[in-house]
Each structure stands twice: as structure tokens, then as C-alpha cells.
Chains A and B, each alone.
Chain A
Amino acid sequence: MELSKPAGAEAPAPKRRYWNNSRKEALFGWLFLGPEAIGIVLLYVFPVFFSLYLSFSEWNLMGGLSSVKLIGFDNFKEILSDQKVHMALRNNLIYTVMTVPISMILSLILAVIIHNRVYFQSYFKVAFFIPYISSIIAIGAVWSALYHPSEGPINRMLFSFGIDNPPKWLADPHFALISIAIIAVWAIVGYIIIIYLAGMTNIPEEMYEAASIDGATSFQKFYKITLPLLAPTTTFLFITLLIGSFKVFDIVAFLTSGGPFNSSTVLVYRIYEEGFQNFRMGYASALSWLLFMIVGLLTMLTWVLQKRFAQD
């Protein structure tokens, strides 16, 4: 260690100083790392353990920390019998099933076309990507106008097709979640296209040329070359979107507040309601841990899947 350091980097000083090079390096190392380390402890480590503690307690924020009452597993028992939480988890699942496969398939098709079958590639990248970088709240505001039950352009169009009782979309218990899923798919497609395009640029062009010489059709090339070589990208996207769909909150909170009749409530919205509207800090923490465990499980699933792929 000492030997590898350039000698005489500092002004000549008496030997055996306290501030030798490695001590100095450690001091500066901590100066550079310090802010990040403090931040991680304060905003990640502490919150995780503190919310674990709170999840076994009942506390409504009044009366300070001394009024925290430990109640064992009661919060988790309550989760098991909480209809709203069941509704939220069910909705999360439905939302995932509605958004993840559709957005991935649609984006893959678009990415394949954009990759080398059209002129003006960069126009298409921009066009499909704009909804993704736009604020989901601004986009939500636009869609809330489009979805308007009696005046909105979507239902006006349906009326003109002779459909007298079109869905009330966001205001309809049977359609609120679907309406949100449609917006979500529309907004995420650009992101998935970009990731797929990045994956496709890594596929050597010679493979397609060789396949052409062998007389392969476009479909065969897609099925035998593109799709298998994109498998790691697909896995990455699948897991990312899966986890993302369990974290959905903004658009639900802004457009429906989980309604009507909890028909579009989701897990994070339940955390928000219990924690920041009912101020049940203990119960909200237990729900947070539920979310944490779901995301943790999905992440471990990734590792297993990625190992599988690595072996194949």
C-alpha cells in the first residue's frame, strides 16, 4: 500500500508524521464519501428499520414517540382481513396484466419497424417518446378531458357510432382501472421502444445478411434472430415494468383517488390514505413492508431468471 504511493507527493516533512499518506487518503475518502453515506443512512437505512418497528405498533402521530403502542402482529392480521387492501392487491394484479404484456408487445413491434424499416427514424423516436417524458399529471389532465363521460371526444365519437351507453371511463367502477391502464400503456411505450432499439443495435448486421443469403423471410429473421438475441432486454424490461406496476401511484391519486368505490385503488394509494389522510402510521408502515416484500420477491425472481439466461 505505502510503497505503491508516489513518494514525495507532499512537501518534504519529518518522517513518521501522524498524517501519513494512507491516513490522509482515508480522511479525504470519508470527506468525499461522507455526504452520500450520511444520506443513505438517514434516508434509506433508518427509514427501513424504523418502519419495521412502526409496523408492529399503533400510532396516530399525536403525542409524540411516547404514545407509540406496540401491538405485535395486529397490523398484519388486519391486512389479512382488510377488504380495501385485498381490492388494492387485486387491482395491482389486474393493472399489471393489462399493462405489461400489451405495452411490451406493442413496443417490440414498433421498435422492429423503426429500427430499419422506415425513413426518418429520429422523428419516430421523438414522436413515441414524448408522452413518456411529459409529466404524467399533465397527461392525466388531458386524458381526463378526453374521457369526460358526456362531453368528452371519446364518448362523443362512440355516441356518433350509435352506442348510446358508452362507459363513463374514470367515473365508472367497471372501467376506471382500465382507463388508467390505457393511459399508462400510452405513456410507457416510448420508453420500451428506446430500450429495445438500444438492444437491437447490438445485434450484428451480418447475422441478418447471412440469413438473407440462406433465403430467410423477414418473419423468420425476426423469430430466429431478433427475438432470441433480445431475450436479456426482454427479461430486464419485464421485471422493470412488473416492479413499476406495483409502485403505481401518481396517476391513480391524481385521476380517481382510488375510486369510484375503491375500484381503482392500489397498494401505494392505500399506504397514502392510511398514512397521510388517516394518520395511522403503524398500519401504513405495515402496508409499506408488504410493498417492500412484494418488490423484494420480484427482484429475487429477476436474479433467478437472469442466472437461467446466463446458463443457457
Chain B
Amino acid sequence: MHTTKNKITKLITTVLMGAFSVVFLVPLIWMISAAFKYEKDVMAFPIQWIPQAWNAVGNFKAVWMGNVPFHLFYFNSLKLAILMTAITMIISSMAAFAFTKMQFRGRGFVFALLLSFMIIPEQATLVPRFLLMKWLGLYNTHTGLIVMGMFSIYFTFLMRQFMASIHNDFLEAAKMDGAGYFTIFWKIILPLCKPILATVGIIKFIWTWNDYQNPLIFLLDKKLYPITLGIQLFRDDYADNFAVLMMASLSAIIPLVIIFILLQKHVIKGISLGGVKG
């Protein structure tokens, strides 16, 4: 009875929301459009949403084969994000395994330590971490960034919650069969943890890819820059060339948008687990 009316209301709401979502995305649409134009048309008004003259190739060349080594920044970002994600996942899941499936003295103390330092904002420890990196000789190295990024209290906490829900019968059975701790961890626990590993891994990858603050403070050498600092160099070098800057920005965003669209469920789950952008 009401259904036709409801359907029409829903349709109208969808259309209105659709229009609003387009307005909301205007900055990104503008970016894409600008990335494909000649510089002289970028700031033309009224805005040419669809370029009259296309310069996608020219801008692409300026970004990827120009004076600023963008391909290197891209490679650096990829390297940092992949390594940091992989190592964080290993370290966090190992710690979670010890917390949930093993009994030994000191375990509770370390966990209490973890909890009490969970609220420390990263920004409040910049100075001592900077000094630490200098003393360890890791300032201005990727290793330094990775060392700082591979421990995550938050992820350990999430992994621990997940592993606690895995039944101990699995382990007891494996122990009966003479399996060692590493075998149990690698062959039994980790495969069962795939969902949470995927979630944690994707979130960590996104955070690392987007990180600006740590590279800004702990890297000096331009050859080591990740993409976020690379965009900054572009802005400084091509101050009056927005078309090229937009192509660079687009290049930085695209991998994440692809990851997000492909792995939407994991990303959304990771975020709604209480993920705080850190």
C-alpha cells in the first residue's frame, strides 16, 4: 500500500543525495580535470570541467620523467609501506600470541605497560625519538622510519582481542602431536587470524602511505623522500604549475582509492573497529 510511495521517496532522496555527493567531490573532480589540462586552462573561469585541450601526457611526463624524481618517491613510499606493514603484522601478532596463548612471568607486566602507554600521542615523543635516531645512527634512513613504525600498541591490542577468541583446543591438540610453538604460531594461529591480519595490514598500509610528519622530521636526503614529501617538493618547484601539481596529487591518491574500492569491506571494518587515524 505504502510501498510505491516509499519507493518514490527513496528514489528522490537518492537523486538529491547523489547531487550532494557530486558537490562534495568537486575538489577531487577539479583535481582530475586539472591534471589533464594545459596550465593556462587550469584557472580559466568558468571552469572547463572537461578539458578543451588535453595535456594528460605532458603533465604525466612532467611528473614521472621531470626534474623531480617522482618515480623514486613512489618507490620509497611503496617500500616503506610494504615493509612497515609486514613487520608490524609479524611483531604484533607474535606479541598477541604470547599474550593470549602462553603463560609466563612478566606477561602481565608488559601488557600493563602497553595499556598505560597507549594514550601517549606520537607527537609528544618527537624530540626524544629524534635524539634516539641520531644516537643509533638511524636518522635520515629508511631503517629509522621502519624501526619507529614497526611497533604498534594499537594493532597488538586488536590482534590480542582476536586471538583470545580462538579456542585453545586447537593448540592443545597440536601440542599433543608434538608441534613446537613456532609451528603452532605459523601453521595454526596465523591462518586463523587472516581476517584481522587483512584488516590491520590495510589500515597500516594506508597510514604509512599517507604519513607526512615522520618523514618530514626524520629524513633529510631528498632521495629518501616518500610521496608526501615529494608533493611538497613539487609544490615548491612548480609553484605556478597547478596542472603538474594536480597530476602528482592524483598519482598519490590513486593507489589508495583502488585499494579501498577493491577491499572496501576490510577497510571499513578496520576503521570501525575503533580505528583512530594516527
Contact = CB atoms under 8 A, between A and B. Distances in A.
B277 A125 contact: no
Interface string B238-278: 00001001101110110011001100100110011010110
Nearest to A212: B2
Contacts of A271: 123-124, 126-127
B212 A51 contact: no
Interface string B159-193: 00000000000001001101001000100000000
B223 interface: no
A286 to B, nearest CB: 10
Interface in A139-180: 139, 141-146, 148, 151-153, 156-157, 160
A25 B235 contact: no
A67 interface: no
B36 interface: no
Interface in A93-139: 110, 113-114, 117-120, 122-131, 133-139
A32 interface: yes
A119 B103 contact: no
B241 to A, nearest CB: 10
A135 B94 contact: no
Interface in A30-58: 30-33, 35-37, 39-48, 50-51, 54
B148 A135 contact: no
A136 B27 contact: no
Interface string B101-142: 011111100100110010111111111111110000000000
A291 B124 contact: yes
Interface string B45-58: 10100000000000
A220 interface: no
B242 A145 contact: yes
Interface string A215-235: 000000000000000000000
A126 B245 CA distance: 24
B206 A35 contact: no
A133 to B, nearest CB: 5
A154 to B, nearest CB: 10
Contact of A268 (B11, B123, B261): B123
Interface stretch (A69-77, A80-88, A190-198, A304-312): A190-198
A45 B113 contact: yes
B62 interface: no
A54 B150 CA distance: 26
Nearest to A291: B124
A146 B212 CA distance: 22
B251 to A, nearest CB: 9
A37 B185 CA distance: 18
B220 to A, nearest CB: 11
Given A244-B276, A250-B212, A156 B217 contact: no
Given A48-B117, A118-B17, A194 B268 contact: yes
Interface residues of A, number: 99
Main secondary structure of the interface of A (DSSP, over half): helix
Contacts of A299: 119
Interface in B203-237: 206, 209-210, 212-213, 216-217, 227-228, 231-232, 234-235
A157 B44 CA distance: 11
Contacts of A130: 25, 28, 257, 260
A63 interface: no
B127 A137 contact: no
A156 B45 contact: yes
A122 B260 contact: no
B121 A291 contact: yes
B123 A117 contact: no
A134 B45 contact: no
B4 interface: no
B151 interface: yes
A50 B228 CA distance: 30
A138 B127 contact: no
A28 B181 contact: yes
Contact of A44 (B92, B117, B206, B235): B117
Contact of B249 (A46, A124, A142, A244): A142
A127 B45 contact: no
A47 B123 contact: no
A10 B178 contact: yes
A289 B124 contact: yes
Nearest to A53: B128
A244 B47 CA distance: 35
A208 to B, nearest CB: 13
Interface of B: 9-11, 13-14, 17-18, 21, 24-25, 27-28, 30-31, 34, 42-43, 45, 47, 91-92, 94-95, 97-99, 102-107, 110, 113-114, 117, 119-132, 147-148, 150-151, 153, 156, 172, 175-176, 178, 181, 185, 206, 209-210, 212-213, 216-217, 227-228, 231-232, 234-235, 242, 245-246, 248-250, 252-253, 256-257, 260-261, 264, 267-268, 271-272, 274, 276-277
11 contacts: A9-B175, A9-B178, A25-B104, A33-B110, A43-B148, A45-B117, A54-B128, A126-B260, A146-B30, A148-B43, A284-B127
Nearest first, the 6 A-B pairs at minimum CB distance are A39-B151, A36-B95, A47-B128, A26-B104, A47-B125, A29-B104
